[in-house]
Chain A
């Protein structure tokens, strides 16, 4: 048995009092979970501590919290691990972010997480004709969606999403990963409709900022940001959805820019992301950017020569790489979650002869 000090964030919105921290010292073996620690504190010291939990086996997704500032499952985090990550010898536990607190460590998942999940039509819209028996699907196609199917809806990724922090309407990582589960499923009939809705939503597919918070937050390796990038790839390159948020245009302008220049030429990227210098869509954006551009020119950050020409040009070898890869009939994607690494896949050492005997 070891002693651990838990510092819990307490809050009852109905009390009118602000949140406060409260510490309890509990006794448990170091490999037991933070959840068990919280439950012991509740049992021994204060029955009013609010925590939601059920399976205690990292499968129901109920006990999502922030431990030492990092989102995760309380039942899936060992006390000794949590202590090691603490900066002051105490294990701090607080409710997840981006969702309103109902009480103490319990957040309102309905108000944020489930509302967003429901918005992406989280069920299969079956392709017609529905076969008399089962659909026959390539094994690879289904393996591909297993990563998004591993989601247990705990909300850890939503908790720490940095885009949602500034844009609460952002559809968010969990809902987008759920959406890929159907966009990647060959039995679903509404791929284009799903992708169009997400691409055209000003708080949809293209509001993700590539911050990787959801990748680190997920206790199940779902890699929501990876699923978001796949949705973008399919929306842009397979369904050619030229959305009003400039997502498609920005991605294509970026790739074309590097194809031409080898290095990124920022002065072209901005107008091209809006459809080109003379595109009516670009004009108001470019006018709005004028004060910034002028200041940049004045400071010598941007020079006229740099803005109008580009000292770098892609070599013919580099252009050949673009041509060779982009002309392949199918894009190749290596998903290590599915394939594993060579090291993971190495056959086990044969057992020594005497062991067999």
Chain B
């Protein structure tokens, strides 16, 4: 399927391995990515905190650009983008008067926002568009014995109603479903749906790092080999800042944090070296015993 692809800022900034992993995995899942390279930052909630109309206009612009492509829907690879964009979309779709106001700003660029753009994180797309049965058939290297703790990121699970989480769309359980489909073992631990602390790293560093450290510690106590996240901002606090988080919580963590496309890529048979693990602060390849945790060699499907 063809998707208008919004990679966000951080996947092209401090987590380049995420952008690369998504590009490597997409063809294996028959996803054609049409990258929205002229779109801007979603604001991560901070621009909305500063000026709601500004955030709504920037995201309306991104949605309008997505609509101009021939993608079936828009896909993102960042929990924070998903949440921030959905919040703007909720306001844009609620009021025709407000849309007129926003569109008058967009008109100078020849853009126009109209309700009806579907925007899904890669996680949602995997479960709802590709389907777990299809995903299972594509697995060539089941993640046998790999113990994986899900870590969602707040913006993709709350508020539940805005994000369309209901009985028919239990999106707050999709990571567990995907881990299981890929052959891994789901680790249940306290922090899976909690906050990584990243938004307050410059305002209350101790509290921020305590959040990251505590969740990783809980995952370690549950014997996770690694955690997986669909959010690159969470990745910054959980991986890049892990040495500082260790110091704050006073224990060694050594917990690899995988981006979701990396975990999928592993199971679909991609070489770990092609997934950018060397760029992680806690290198998964250094901690996980691949020979033990994963059926070492990919087999043909």
Interface residues of A (CB under 8 A from B): 84, 162-163, 165-167, 170, 202-203, 206-213, 215-216, 229, 232-233, 236-237, 245-247, 250-252, 254-255, 258, 262-267, 270, 273-274, 285, 291-292, 295-296, 299-302, 306, 312, 314-315, 317-318, 320-322, 324-326, 328, 331-334, 336, 339-343
Please encode chain B, from 114 to 134, with 1 for each CB lying within 8 Å of some chain A CB and 0 for all others: 000000000000000000000
Given contact pairs A166-B214, A264-B41, A312-B12, a sample of 13 additional A-B residue pairs in the complex whose CB atoms are under 8 Å apart:
A84-B167, A166-B207, A167-B207, A209-B195, A209-B199, A250-B203, A258-B40, A264-B13, A266-B13, A317-B108, A321-B106, A325-B57, A342-B96
Are B159 and A334 in contact, with the CB atoms below 8 A?
Answer: no
Q: Mark B45-62, 1 if CB is under 8 A from A, else 0.
A: 111111111101110010
**Given contact pairs A162-B195, A296-B14, A321 touches B57 in the complex (Cβ within 8 A):** yes
Closest B residue by C-beta to A162: B195
User: Could you pull out 23 A-B pairs where Cβ atoms are within 8 angstroms?
Assistant: A162-B154, A162-B211, A163-B204, A166-B214, A206-B204, A209-B197, A210-B154, A213-B158, A232-B49, A250-B202, A255-B46, A258-B43, A263-B12, A273-B202, A299-B281, A300-B278, A301-B14, A301-B240, A318-B61, A321-B57, A334-B52, A334-B91, A334-B95
Nearest CB in chain A to that of B7: its residue? A263
Shortest Cβ distance from residue B279 to the other chain A in the assembled complex, whole angstroms: 5
B155, A324: Cβ atoms under 8 Å?
no
A341 in contact with B94 (CB, 8 Å): yes
Q: Are A264 and B9 in contact (CB under 8 A)?
A: yes
CB of B15 closer than 8 Å to a CB of A: yes
Cα–Cα, bound, A326→B47 (Å): 12
CB-nearest residue of chain B to A306 = B13
The reply to whether A229 and B49 form a contact with Cβ atoms under 8 Å apart is yes
Of B46, B105, B155, which one neighbours A325 at CB under 8 angstroms? B105
B40 pairs with A211, CB closer than 8 A: no
Please name the 3 residue pairs, one residue from A and one from B, whose CB atoms are nearest each other, closest first.
A212-B158, A341-B94, A264-B9
Q: Which of A306, A334, A336 has the most chain B CB atoms inside 10 A of its CB?
A: A334
Tell me the residues in window 13-52 of chain B with beta carbons closer than 8 Å to chain A beta carbons.
13-17, 38, 40-41, 43-52
Is B296 an interface position by the 8 A CB rule?
no
The prevalent SS among residues of B at the interface is helix
Q: How far is the CA of A102 from the CA of B101 in the complex (A)?
A: 53
Residues in B213-240 with C-beta less than 8 Å from chain A: 214, 240
A258 to B8 Cα, complex, angstroms: 12
Cα A232 to Cα B46 with chains together (Å):
10
Q: Which residues of A contact B106 (CB under 8 A)?
A: 321
B202 contact from A274, A326, A331, A342, Cβ within 8 A = A274
User: Given contacts A162-B211, A236-B50, A314-B40, is CB(A246)–CB(B202) below 8 Å?
Assistant: yes
B49's nearest neighbour on chain A, judged by CB, is A229
Chain B proximity of A172: nearest CB distance (Å): 13
The answer to whether B183 has its CB under 8 Å from any CB of chain A is no
Measured CB to CB, the closest approach of chain A to B17, in angstroms, equals 8
Which B154-209 residues have a C-beta within 8 angstroms of A?
Answer: 154-155, 158-160, 167, 194-195, 197-200, 202-204, 206-208
Across-interface contacts of A236 in B (CB, < 8 A): 50
Least distance between B60 CB and chain A CB atoms (Å): 10
CB-CB under 8 A for A251 and B158, given A163-B200, A207-B207, A292-B244:
no
Instruction: Identify B200's interface contact among A207, A328, A343, CB under 8 A.
Output: A207
The answer to whether residues A321 and B203 also contact, given A264-B13, A295-B281 and a CB cut-off of 8 A, is no
Mask, B63-103, CB within 8 Å of A = 1, is: 00000000000000000000100000011011110100100
Quick check: A332 and B159 within 8 Å, CB to CB? Answer: no
> Residues of A contacting B58 with CB < 8 Å?
258, 318, 321
Complex CA–CA separation, A145 to B276 (angstroms): 49
Q: Could you tell me the distance in whole angstroms from the C-beta of A241 to the nearest C-beta in chain B?
A: 14
With A and B bound together, what is the CA distance between A66 and B155 in angstroms? 22
Contact (Cβ within 8 A) A299 B94: no
Q: Shortest beta-carbon distance, A155 to chain B, in Å?
A: 18
The reply on B2 being an interface residue by CB < 8 A is no
B14–chain A nearest beta-carbon distance, Å:
5
Say yes or no for B280: interface residue by CB 8 A criterion.
yes
Minimum distance in angstroms from A189 CB to a CB of chain B: 26
Nearest CB on B from A195, distance (A): 14
From B191, which residue of chain A is reached at the shortest CB distance?
A162
Cα A215 to Cα B157 with chains together (Å): 12
**Minimum Cβ distance to chain B for residue A28 (Å):** 23
Please report the C-alpha to C-alpha distance between residue A209 and residue B199 in the assembled complex, in whole angstroms: 5
**Nearest CB on A from B207, distance (A):** 4
A342 to B155, CA, bound (A): 25
Q: Select from chain A the residue with minimum beta-carbon distance to B242.
A: A292
Q: How far is the CA of A210 from the CA of B231 in the complex (A)?
A: 14
B154: A residues at CB distance < 8 A: 162, 209-213
A210 touching B199 by the CB < 8 A rule? Answer: yes
Query: Known contacts being A209-B195, A246-B202, is A264 close to B10, with CB within 8 Å?
Result: yes
- Which residues of the partner chain A approach B144 to less than 8 Å between Cβ atoms? none
Residues of chain A within 8 A of B160, CB atoms compared: 216
- Residues of A within 8 Å of B292, CB to CB, are none
| Smallest CB gap from A343: residue in B | B94
Residue of A nearest to B106 (CB): A321
B204, A270: Cβ atoms closer than 8 Å:
no
**Shortest beta-carbon distance from A116 to chain B in Å:** 16
Scoring A212, A320, A339, A343 by chain B CB atoms within 10 A of each residue's CB, the highest score goes to A212
Chain B residues closer than 8 Å to A320, beta-carbon distance: 108
B243 within 8 A of A: yes
Q: Are the CB atoms of A209 and B51 closer together than 8 Å?
A: no
How many Å lie between the Cα of A88 and that of B238 in the bound state? 31
Chain B residues, CB < 8 A from A301: 14-17, 240, 279-281
Q: How far is the CA of A328 from the CA of B102 in the complex (A)?
A: 13
- Nearest A residue to B56 via CB reads A334
A255: B residues at CB distance < 8 A: 46-47, 50-51, 54
